[in-house]
C-alpha cells in the first residue's frame, strides 16, 4: 500500500471531478476455481478499488458521498472460522483508518445507502462490472438487470477514473520500475532456457514462479510458443525445435499490483538465420522508431500508422509487399503482417482500465477508433500522448497460414501483397518486440533500469554466455 495521504488525495480529486452524488466502488470477491473454498490464487482486487481505497481483501465496497463529504469502507469482519483457517486480519474499521477513511460499516449497510439514495433521487455512480457476482449484487441493490449495467454505469465516474489513472505519479512509476525488474528476470531466464528439447510449458512454468516469488503474480497468462503467429499462444507440452523462433510475451505484477509487459523473440538454435534476421530487423527498426517520435502532444494513432508505413516499405524491399505505401496502408494491407495495434495503456492493469471500455481509455472526442478495418479495429489506443502516460511499444510481423489462404482466395489486397512469395513463409511463425514506455516532458523512455536484450547481436551473445 501507499500512504493513507495518497488515497485521501485521490478520493478528494475524484470528488472534484464527479462533483455530486454517491460513488460506489465495488471490490472483488474470491473467485472459485472449481468449488467455493478452492479459489483462484492469489486473490486479485479490482484495480479502481485499489487505486482509491488501497485494501487488498475480498468482500469490500468503498462508498463516497460527495454532497455530504462522507467516505465509508463497507465490509463484514471475518469470523473465527475464517481466522482458524487463514489467520487473523485487521478489522474493517482498522482498514478504513489505514487509508484515511473515517467511517466503516457492515455489508448490510450498503442496501440502506443505496435505497435511501434512490428514494431521494440522488445519483449513484458505479463503474461497469465485469464479474458475475458483482453484477448480481448491483441487481439486488439497484434493480438494474446485468445486461443493462454497462449502459447504466456512470460516464462522469468513468471519465474521472480514466483521467486520474492515465497519468502516473512518481510513486506509481517506482512501482512500475519494480515490475520491470521482475519482468527482466523472467525474460532473461526464458532466453537462457531457450534450446532444442525444452518444452514450452517448462519455461513458462519457471517464469510464472519468478513472478509469484518476486511479486504478486503474472500480469497476464504467460504467452510462450514457437508458433509466434498465434497472438495469444498458450505454452504447450511441445518441445522447442532447432531452427524455430520462441516468442515469449510475459509480465509481472508487484505486490502493489503494478504491471510489466514485455515480449522477446529468441532463436531456438542460438542464432537467427538470414530469413529470420531480415524479418526481425524490420520489427526492431519499427520498435526503435517509436522511441524517436513518441512525446506529449503526438497522437498515438499517428505513431501506429508511422510504424505501419515503415513496415510496409521494408516488406516491399523483401518482395513481400508492393505498390504505393500510403495506398497499401490505407487499404489495410499491412494487417496481413501486423494484425494488432502498436500498443496500449499500462499501469495497474496490463491493458490499463480496459474494463472501462477501450473507447473511453484509448480514444477521445478528437481521435475515434476505426472498428471496421481488419487490424486497425484492434488498435487499443489512438489519443494524444501526455506526460506521465505509460504505453507499450509492441510492433510485430506474423505469417498466419489461415489468413494468407483467406486473403489469397478472395484476392483481398492482391495489388499490395506478393502472395507467391508469401506462400514460402507459412512455416515462419512470428516475431514481436515489446517494451513499456513512460512519456516524459520532452519524449519518452523505457521503464526498467536493465534492458532485456533485443538487438539481434545482443540476443545471440547473451544466450551464448
Q: Over the chain (465 residues), what is each successive 10-residue block's mean pLDDT?
A: 96 98 97 86 94 96 98 94 84 97 98 97 97 97 97 98 98 98 98 98 98 95 97 96 98 97 98 98 98 98 98 98 98 98 97 95 96 94 98 98 98 98 97 98 97 98 95
pLDDT at 25: 98
pTM here is 0.95
Count of other CB atoms within 10 angstroms of residue 143: 9
Residue 107: φ, ψ to 5°: -60, -30
pLDDT for position 427? 96
Q: Which fold has domain 4-166?
A: Creatine Amidinohydrolase; Chain A, domain 1 (3.40.350)
**pLDDT number for residue 37:** 79
Report whether CATH 3.40.50.970 matches the domain 170-464. Answer: no
pLDDT the model gives residue 181 = 98
Residues of the chain with CATH 3.90.230.10: 170-464
Dmax over CA atoms of the chain, in Å, equals 72
pLDDT in the model for residue 344: 97
Residue in the structure block whose three cell numbers are 533500469: 449
Give the pLDDT score at 81.
Answer: 83
Residues spanned by CATH 3.40.350.10 within the chain?
4-166
312, 289 Cβ separation under 8 angstroms: no
Specify the pLDDT at position 40: 85
Res 317: pLDDT? 98
Cell numbers 551473445: residue: 461
Counting beta carbons within 10 angstroms of the beta carbon of residue 68, is it exposed (0 to 12), middle (13 to 18) or buried (19 or more)? exposed
Amino acid at each position: 500500500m501507499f500512504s493513507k495521504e495518497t488515497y485521501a488525495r485521490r478520493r478528494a480529486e475524484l470528488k472534484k471531478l464527479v462533483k455530486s452524488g454517491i460513488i460506489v466502488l465495488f471490490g472483488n470477491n474470491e473467485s472459485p476455481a472449481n468449488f467455493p473454498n478452492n479459489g483462484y490464487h492469489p486473490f486479485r482486487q479490482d484495480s479502481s478499488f485499489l487505486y482509491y481505497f488501497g485494501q487488498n481483501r475480498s468482500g469490500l465496497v468503498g462508498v463516497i458521498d460527495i454532497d455530504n463529504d462522507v467516505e465509508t469502507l463497507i465490509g463484514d469482519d471475518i469470523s473465527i472460522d475464517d481466522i482458524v483457517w487463514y489467520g487473523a486480519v485487521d478489522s474493517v474499521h482498522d482498514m478504513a483508518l489505514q487509508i484515511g477513511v473515517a467511517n466503516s460499516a457492515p455489508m448490510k449497510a450498503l442496501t440502506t445507502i443505496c435505497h435511501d439514495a434512490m428514494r431521494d433521487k440522488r445519483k449513484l455512480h458505479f463503474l461497469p462490472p465485469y464479474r458475475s457476482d458483482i453484477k448480481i449484487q448491483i441487481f439486488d441493490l439497484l434493480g438494474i438487470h446485468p445486461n443493462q449495467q454497462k449502459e447504466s454505469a456512470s460516464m462522469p465516474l468513468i471519465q474521472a477514473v480514466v483521467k486520474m489513472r492515465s497519468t502516473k505519479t512518481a510513486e506509481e512509476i517506482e512501482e512500475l520500475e519494480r515490475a520491470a525488474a521482475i519482468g527482466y528476470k523472467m525474460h532473461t531466464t526464458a532466453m537462457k532456457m531457450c534450446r532444442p528439447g525444452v518444452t514450452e510449458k517448462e519455461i513458462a512454468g519457471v517464469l510464472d514462479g519468478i513472478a509469484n516469488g518476486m511479486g504478486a503474480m503474472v500480469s497476464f497468462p504467460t504467452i510462450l510458443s514457437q508458433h509466434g503467429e498465434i497472438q495469444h499462444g498458450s505454452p504447450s507440452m511441445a518441445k522447442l525445435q532447432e531452427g524455430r523462433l520462441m516468442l515469449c510475451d510475459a509480465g509481472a505484477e508487484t505486490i502493489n499490483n503494478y504491471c510489466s509487459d514485455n515480449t522477446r523473440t529468441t532463436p531456438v538454435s542460438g542464432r537467427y538465420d538470414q530469413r529470420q534476421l531480415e524479418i526481425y530487423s524490420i520489427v526492431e527498426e519499427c520498435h526503435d522508431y517509436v522511441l524517436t517520435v513518441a512525446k506529449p502532444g503526438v497522437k498515438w494513432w499517428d505513431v501506429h500508422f508511422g510504424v505501419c508505413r515503415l513496415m510496409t516499405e521494408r516488406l516491399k524491399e523483401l518482395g513481400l509487399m508492393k505498390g504505393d505505401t500510403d495506398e497499401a496502408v490505407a487499404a489495410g494491407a499491412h494487417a496481413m503482417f501486423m494484425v494488432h495495434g502498436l500498443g496500449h495503456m499500462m499501469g495497474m492493469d496490463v491493458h490499463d482500465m480496459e474494463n472501462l471500455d477501450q473507447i473511453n481509455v484509448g480514444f477521445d472526442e478528437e481521435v475515434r477508433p476505426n472498428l471496421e478495418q481488419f487490424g486497425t479495429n484492434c488498435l487499443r489506443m489512438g489519443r494524444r500522448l501526455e506526460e506521465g502516460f505509460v504505453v507499450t511499444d509492441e510492433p510485430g510481423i506474423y505469417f498466419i497460414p489461415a489468413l494468407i489462404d483467406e486473403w489469397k482466395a478472395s484476392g483481398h489486397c492482391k495489388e499490395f501483397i506478393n502472395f507467391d512469395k508469401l506462400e514460402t513463409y507459412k512455416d515462419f511463425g512470428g516475431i514481436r518486440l515489446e517494451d513499456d514506455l513512460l512519456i516524459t516532458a520532452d519524449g519518452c523512455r523505457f521503464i526498467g533500469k536493465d534492458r532485456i536484450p533485443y538487438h539481434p547481436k545482443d540476443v545471440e551473445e547473451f544466450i551464448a554466455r
